[in-house]
Amino acid sequence: MKKILPEMLDELTDLFVETFNAPPWNDLWSHESARDRLRDIMRMPNFCGAAEYHEGRLVGLLMGHGEQSYDGMHFQILELCVANDMKGHGIGGRMLNEFLDYLDRKGVTSVYLLTM
Exposure string of 3-17, with b = 16+ CB inside 10 Å and e = fewer, is ebeeebeeebbebbb
The tens digit of pLDDT for each residue in 78-113 reads: 999 999 999 999 999 999 999 999 999 999 999 999
- Is 72 strand, coil or helix? strand
SS3 (DSSP) at 106: coil
> Could you tell me if 16 and 79 are in contact, meaning their C-beta atoms sit under 8 angstroms apart?
yes
User: What is the rounded (10 degree) CA torsion for 43, 15, 75, 108?
Assistant: -110
Closest CA to 42 of 22, 1, 82, 13: 13
Is the separation of the CB atoms in 86 and 61 below 8 Å? no
Cis peptide before 24 (omega within 30 of 0): yes
Q: What is the DSSP letter of 107?
A: T
pLDDT digits (tens, 9 = 90+) for 26-80: 999 999 999 999 999 999 999 999 999 999 999 999 999 999 999 999 999 999 9
Above 90 in pLDDT, residue 116? Answer: no
